[in-house]
Homo-oligomer: A and B are copies of this chain.
Amino acid sequence: MEYTPVNLKEKLSKFSEHWTPKIVAQMNDYHFKVVKFSGDFVWHRHEDTDEVFIVLDGHMSIRFRDGKVDLSAGELFVVPKGLEHKPFAEKECHIMLVEPAGTINTGNAGGARTAADHVWI
Contacts and interface: CB of A to CB of B under 8 A. Distances in A.
A69 interface: yes
- Copies of this chain, complex-wide, total 2
Contacts of A27: 49-52, 78, 98-99
Which of A4, A67, A71, A78 has most B Cβ within 10 Å? Answer: A78
Nearest to A29: B50
Nearest to A48: B28
A75 to B, nearest CB: 4
Interface residues of A, number: 39
Q: Which 8 residue pairs of A and B lie closest in terms of their CB atoms, listed nearest first?
A: A3-B69, A5-B75, A27-B50, A6-B76, A1-B67, A1-B66, A5-B77, A27-B52
Interface of A: 1-9, 24-28, 30, 32, 49-52, 56, 62, 64, 66-72, 74-78, 81, 98-100
